[in-house]
Structure 1
């Protein structure tokens, strides 16, 4: 019970929150960040140059559809009113009025009152309204009226407080505050009879419409004067207006009445059927206080708000259903029903009837698609499929996720793409008779059929499949066509049927299937006309819509020609749901789903008139004329101004120097940066749906960079010459230095060579001397060796003699043998002397050192030391010293004493160490 109560409460609150939503004209809001001004917009008017002008407190604003301009009066006073007369825009301020004119793309002000004593010093006069009557300009404050005939200003003090003056039926009416209506006749003021009901009212507007005069009071609604009888307006809206505080009202074309209020926004009343729309803060308006109303040449509205500006396209073929509460969510599909609309959103299925939006019970969740079959509406939902007929909702199927519905081109059946395959509805009169294709469990998003028992299916993620099935709806073959055709990037395939032909959009290219080759083939017609298409949806046999390069176009196929009608980006910018674009045809209109609602558009392809545009170019915020020269490396802003703000705004494109391709002009601005020096021709084109038509062009020259000017080139030449001269001088100096260095280097090399030669010679001499000494040493050594050998021979001779003496007894023979031995071993005396001299020479250093260290040594001692150093034994020394072995030992003993050697020390080793 508790949950049921909460459920009822939820739907009650939901219905209450959604009740204010309705189908509205498109509203374009501008806030202070756009025009960089103040809050209140007191007056709005369109100039003869098609620009919109605004009185914005201390600022005078101008907007041409591309650029906002902001000006102030010379005395910086507040601006309350403006009025257009020819090329002049009159403005009224505090104790000041004058006019503005445009020159060199700037507004200039001329004061009418300057230097004239128009205002009393004690009066607190502000000009709240300016109007033209009988070829004179009237400036009205709350206390006075000033008349300007082009030369002279005449002022008239009014004896009562004025709200506003109005020109009605060729007469000037003055609405007093609480005293009724007065008439101005030739400068005289007289009260209008028969309007006593208006006494004690503040009149904010008086308008004549169809022989009736309407009086719009601030707090008591509207009164109508008909056949000289004044009575309250008999319209249901009148009671609402009494509490809304009327600020301003105006009748416009197409039998519409616009009423701006102080706290409930603006009311747009259709006098043909009595219906009205309230545009306010709860739907699309920035705030509810309407201070002023203006119209442009398309009869669209411009509202001056307490905080901002609103452009309302009341005569546009485009209307928008917009949900500001967020309860509706993103709309994935919309369809018209006899009493309103059905919407499938991510929050469920909603119905809009009688200006009331309500959620259909038990349909919460993601809804995908609404299709009309006869008088039935088939609705694909995350939890199945619903059917709406004659105001009743019923569940048709529990198969999850009815993404899309496609009509078969071979019979009257319909195919539904779901999360888990394909469902076929064969009987359109009884949709409950359906068949799911067995064997297919893939999530299928797009479908088409042009052959019996054959279906083309695009997977939700990747792949195009050709599905064959039998009469029992059992799959017999599933052919991955993109894989077989070797198309690697087959993500997000889209299927589009055009004139009994099925086309496939795969990786930004169009294909058709050739049943003979059993392969996909490129489609030339669509590839030429529809490049960079990211989404496409059919409207009917000859109409479809594409999303191309981020822009929406609805297309009329006329033979092999495609007539384009672009939809301005402002209507859907940032609101399209990617890959889920749906279109529902409603008679001559079509409905297009958006993130937070939908738009309805007329299906018209009228021949577009040639657009007239004005081109203003600015370089560093300075106006640049045609064929002018601009600075190098500077920004050029080209404003392409059509003077049209609503749905008729033309599609404009441009090309630079006849390059290929046409570049869209977005928001009327061509921004060029970093242009190379040279001549440029910017050609502006409009598109009539079939062809690009040249409508204007702008030529300019980008000057050479300052560093390429004549004077700079002259300076460059001087610098180059100076550099070459300095380079020459530097090279010459370096050459001289190089020669000097080379000379010094040669001198040093010569000296070094001489030194090297000298050193080499000295080394050679030393080597030579060393070699000589070595030879001499070798010679001396040989001599020593010879002497040693000689001595050894003598010793051997003596031994032989001794042996002879010991063995021979015969004296004569003994004598003979001795003589013979002596003769054989005789030693030459001279040879001995040479031996001793050589021995001394070889050991000269040793002898000197020994003599120096032991001066008491005798020559005989030194000789013994030499022999001992030569490591000769006592036996070998004895014959060389001509003494006995015993004598040598004795001499060695004495030598040890002289050398102070102990018994343990080796004499020969000691001598080697000396």
Structure 2
């Protein structure tokens, strides 16, 4: 409780200390970090190219709305003055004056004084002012004046110390510091009589306006000469100016007087109403010392400050309410009252009346919304709903967090979206008569109604609800429509009423409700015209604001055509409160809430003339011409220069031959990089609200990458040629090596063939010898067989003789028969030896193996084995071994023992297997 009381006392104290605030013209400030120059801006002028030129100590600054440039004099002296005449930019410095001209995107200096040697060694002159009078250029120092007719320079010395010279009508007035004002006539100076009051005054400006001459002194305010009578300016502002120290003054369009001071900023005086506005460091300027003033072609102001530059849109229909103190806080809603303005901020509810900003007592905390119902202002606050009327402020209800208020389209009731649901105000004349909608205890952000007994409510977090209630105001049904329509991403739903139709912005797509199938359906008209819209605010039936891709557009709906008017980003950049954009219509003005105040807009749809723009394209800070060729992988910076700095700046977009969509030209700069090789074209369009009109284009070529250049192609061909040549030489070498290898291989093959032939011949010879041996073996086998037959015959003969012996008794006859049989069957001893020899040769291998396995066998045993291997019977073997049949059987028996054969084993088969 004590903490709350302390906060209230603190806010009371703060509110009593708030300084005077007011709606001011929009001001753009440029500091040293922007233009990369020095502090003081001694002089300002606009060139015929619409660029602004500034005398900034050691630099001449140039600004075309896109790019800042700075240049130094060859002798590096301080530039005090600048003046434009045609395409020449004249500047004055210490013992130096001349002009600049522009070529190939850069400024070049030509000295006038150095060529004519007008300054002597003893002269100590600085050119503080340059002006044109009767077709001639004048360069003025505090000690003299130099007249330049285009060829020659004529110098006139002052006999007195002067402040400045002023061309007024057909007269050139010279203001001395001590002796008053003189008139220059043919290089002679004549003192103006009757103006002695101006003696001992430093005069910084003399202006003629509506047949009156205004003389602005540094410390004694303003004097006015009217019909020959000179007197102090009879305006309360004059007393303020005496203490402010006037530095410069100028009359501008719309009957306004601009006075720049040394310590109180600039005063914008309206001669029609007698009112003035003071723009200074307390509200928007960077500092209070105004050194120079210039007016551009839009009749807006450029101020040269002691530290920086200010561009003031004094003739713009846009005004800004600033609060740099932070006391006001972020403004969530604003409304105009008969005496001023009412603002709902995160610090409370503030009123601005009689140029004073004050916190309304007991309103500390978050205030969300201000809506006007008849003569009352209904305020949604964190701690309830309040009413403000005729200077009185009181709490209407304790329902917290009135985010938004919407008027029903079917009757005079109002719907309020709050922290805890929806509240209905049925009677606009009796706002205490309220109905709290049941069954929806949710934080509702937006609400709307266009059918009886049906309310649409969007949750602050996610979800869209359709609330049905009966005639007794009893809630009958609450339905989550986005859930029913199977829309998964339903965060931050926005409700927008357009011509008695309710539209829903859900995840950057537009929907309407189909009551037949109870589903949300996409709206073709709005989805076609307002893609990527993040916020939308209704103004009236045919006007609304949209926030699209970070830019604000004022939309005028003419039938099904939407005429767009872009609101330049500089007026609100970084100051819009997301999801809390509100607009209050005040006659022809629209009040839009911002972070640190609000903006007043006059949104009128007048046919815009087709603007003229110039294009300057730079690659590495070098200007390139249209249809130029640039290197591959170069960044090209295209400056789209309209020469318009204020509210009438055209709405420009562009397309490239590689893009389909229109892209806004932000800050007049288009940066393109990572471009492919080939031709490129950029077309600049101006959007007149309904159509895109082509106003300029720029073409350029991107060269092939360095690795595709002519020399690189030649190098590639050379390398390829070398590779092919080396490949050819390598192949040739390999071919020769292959030939040599083939030759060697053939030699080896020949040797191998010879060896194979020799081997084959040897093999053939061996086979031949084998064949001979086989033939011999066969012959010997035949001989053995023959011998065997012979032996058999002998055996037969013996048997025959035995038969003869048994049959014959006659000895002689017996003898004769035996001799005959013996003679017929006699066996040659040589034949027997041959038979045995052949038999051994034929079975030599068998004999060797048998002897190795059974070394205890005798020759007779071996001979029996041979006969048995030849499959001869015992009967046939007996005569061949010259033993009896039983002798053979006995020998066989002994042989089986020596061979360790069992009784079951066959001897002949055993010998055949050896």
What TM-score do you get using the length of structure 1 for normalisation? 0.82
Q: CA deviation at 1:707?
A: 2.9
Is the 2:8–2:364 Cα contact (8 Å) retained in structure 1?
A: no
Please, which runs of 5 or more residues in structure 2 have no aligned partner? 760-843, 859-886, 901-914
Query: 2:54: which partner in 1?
Result: 54
Asked whether the 8 Å contact 1:257–1:268 carries over to 2, the reply is yes
In 1: Cα distance, 2:508 partner to 2:318 partner? 30
Greater Cα offset, 421-430 or 71-80: 71-80
Give the match for residue 389 of structure 1: 389
Matched residue, 1:409: 409
1:128-527 aligned within 5 A: 128-527=128-527
Q: Deviations over 1:682-703 (max 9, x none)?
A: 2111011000011111122222
* Rounded Cα–Cα distance in structure 2 between residues aligned with 1:394 and 1:745: 118
Q: Cα 1:533–1:50, aligned 2, differ >3 Å: closer, same or farther?
A: same
**Residue 722 of structure 1 aligns to a residue in which SS?**
helix
Q: Distance in 2 between matches of 1:349 and 1:16?
A: 15
Q: Please give the alpha-carbon distance, in whole angstroms, between the structure 2 residues aligned to 1:295 and 1:775.
A: 142
Secondary structure at 1:243 match in 2 = helix
Give the secondary-structure state (helix, strand or coil) at the position aligned to 2:528. Answer: helix
Contact 2:592 2:600 in 1 (8 A): yes
- The Cα of 1:569 is off from its aligned counterpart by 0.6
RMSD, aligned CA: 3.1
Distance 1:232 1:735, change over 3 A: same
1:877-888 aligned at under 5 Å gives the runs: none
* Shift in CA distance, 204/830, structure 1 to aligned 2, threshold 3 Å: same
**SS where residue 240 of structure 1 aligns?**
helix
What is the alpha-carbon distance in structure 2 between the residues aligned to residue 773 and residue 33 of structure 1? Answer: 120
Q: Would the aligned equivalents of 1:405 and 1:447 in 2 still touch at CA under 8 Å?
A: yes
* 3-state secondary structure, aligned to 1:435: strand
Tell me if the contact between 2:409 and 2:500 (Cα under 8 Å) persists in the aligned partners: yes
Deviation of the 1:655 alpha carbon: 1.4
2-side partners of 1:491 and 1:738: how far apart?
79
- Name the structure 2 match of 1:654: 654
Question: How far apart, CA to CA, are the structure 2 residues paired with 1:535 and 1:741?
Answer: 86
Instruction: Single out whichever of 226-235 and 269-278 deviates more from structure 2.
Output: 226-235
Q: 1:21 Cα shift? A: 2.7
CA displacement 1:202-243 (0-9 Å, x = unmatched): 111111222222111111211222232222222121222122
Q: Is the 8 A contact 2:378 2:388 kept in 1?
A: yes
Secondary structure at 1:200 match in 2: coil
Classify 1:403/1:775 alpha carbon distance in 2 versus 1 (closer, same or farther; 3 Å): farther
The farther-off stretch of 11-20 and 320-329 is: 11-20
Aligned counterpart, 1:905: none
Deviation at 1:328, TM superposition (A): 1.3
Structure 1 residues 416 and 2, CA gap change in structure 2 (3 angstroms): closer
Q: Distance in 1 between matches of 2:188 and 2:632?
A: 65
- Cα distance in 1 for residues equivalent to 2:284 and 2:249: 20
Given that 1:267 and 1:279 are in contact with CA atoms closer than 8 Å, whether structure 2 keeps it comes out as yes
Deviation at 1:473, TM superposition (A): 2.8
Distance 1:657 1:782, change over 3 A: same
Contact 1:440 1:475 in 2 (8 A): no
Match of 2:561 in 1: 561
In structure 2, do the counterparts of structure 1 residues 186 and 749 end up closer, same or farther at CA, with 3 Å as the change threshold? same
Equivalent residues of 2:439, 2:478 under 8 A apart: no
CA change 1:741–1:143 in 2 (3 A) is: same
SS state at 2:715 partner: helix
My pick for the range that moved more, 209-218 or 397-406, is: 209-218
* Cα pair 1:384 1:396 within 8 Å, conserved: yes
Q: Deviations 1:809-848 (Å, cap 9, x if unpaired)? A: xxxxxxxxxxxxxx9999999999x98xx99xxxxxxxxx
In 2, the alpha carbon distance for the partners of 1:215 and 1:747 equals 123
Q: Deviations over 1:770-811 (max 9, x none)?
A: xx999979866656799xxxxxxxxxxxxxxxxxxxxxxxxx
Check the 8 A contact 1:449/1:455 in 2, yes or no.
Answer: yes
Pairing of 1:510-909 with structure 2 (within 5 A): 510-657=510-657, 659-734=659-734
* Cα drift, residue 429 of structure 1: 0.8
SS at match of 2:115: coil
Contact 1:37 1:70 survives alignment (8 Å): yes
Q: How far has the Cα of 1:18 moved from its partner? A: 2.8
1:799 equivalent in structure 2: none
Contact (CA 8 Å) 2:12, 2:359: kept in 1 or not?
no
Return closer, same or farther for 1:728/1:173 CA change in 2, 3 Å cut-off.
same
Deviation of the 1:191 alpha carbon: 1.3
The 8 Å contact of residues 439 and 474 in structure 1, kept in 2 or not, is answered as no
The one-character-per-residue Cα deviations of 1:319-358 (angstroms, maximum 9, x if unpaired) are 1111111121111111111111111111111111122111
- Cα distance change of structure 1 residues 782 and 239 upon mapping to structure 2, 3 Å threshold: same
Shift of 1:10: 2.0
CA contact (8 A) 1:125 1:143 kept: yes
* Structure 1 residues 383 and 722, CA gap change in structure 2 (3 angstroms): same
* 1:707 counterpart SS class: helix
Confirm or deny: 8 A CA contact 1:547 1:553 kept in the other structure: yes
Q: Hey, what's the Cα distance between the residues in 1 that align with 2:69 and 2:212?
A: 40
Partners of 2:412 and 2:428 within 8 A in 1: yes
Inter-CA distance 151–750: structure 2 relative to 1 (3 Å threshold) = same
Shift of 1:652: 0.8
Q: Encode CA deviations 1:19-49: one digit per residue, 9 max, x unaligned.
A: 1432111111111111111111000011111
CA distance in 1, matches of 2:395, 2:746: 112
**Aligned counterpart, 1:63:** 63
When residues 303 and 827 of structure 1 are mapped into structure 2, their CA distance, relative to the original with a 3 A threshold, is same
Aligned to 2:814: none
Structure 1 pair 726–342 and aligned structure 2 pair: CA distance change class (3 A): same
Deviations 1:106-142 (A, max 9, x none): 2222211113232232221000011111211111101
C-alpha distance in structure 1 between counterparts of 2:399 and 2:748, whole Å: 106
Aligned to 1:102: 102
Name whichever of 473-482 and 399-408 sits farther off.
Answer: 473-482
* C-alpha distance after superposition, 1:270-296 (max 9, x if no partner): 122122111111211111111000110
> Which moved further from structure 2: 508-517 or 577-586?
508-517
Contact 2:161–2:177 (Cα < 8 Å) also in 1: yes
Contact 1:418–1:444 (CA under 8 A) maintained in structure 2? yes
Whole-Å Cα distance in 2 between the matches of residues 380 and 562 of structure 1?
32
The DSSP-based 3-state class of the residue aligned with 1:238 is: helix
In structure 2, the partner of 1:901 is: none
CA 1:825–1:633: 2 relative to 1, 3 Å: closer
Q: Matches of 1:545 and 1:43 in 2, distance apart? A: 40
Point out where structure 1 has 5 or more consecutive residues left out of the alignment: 759-771, 787-822, 840-914
CA contact (8 A) 1:52 1:62 kept: yes
Alpha-carbon distance in 1 for matches of 2:391, 2:183: 58
How many Å separate the matches in 2 of 1:189 and 1:30?
41
What CA distance in whole angstroms lies between the structure 2 residues aligned with 1:4 and 1:742?
110
| Range with bigger deviation, 228-237 or 14-23 | 14-23
The answer as to whether partners of 1:20 and 1:282 remain within 8 angstroms in 2 is no
**Would the aligned equivalents of 2:264 and 2:288 in 1 still touch at CA under 8 Å?**
yes
Deviation at 1:614, TM superposition (A): 0.9
1:335 to 1:74, Cα distance in 2 relative to 1, 3 A: same
Q: Distance in 1 between matches of 2:720 and 2:67?
A: 48
Matched residue of 1:570: which SS? helix
How far apart are residue 736 of structure 1 and its match? 5.5
Paired with 2:891 and 2:721, the residues of 1 have a C-alpha distance of 102
Aligned in 2, Cα 1:826/1:532: closer, same or farther, shift over 3 Å? closer
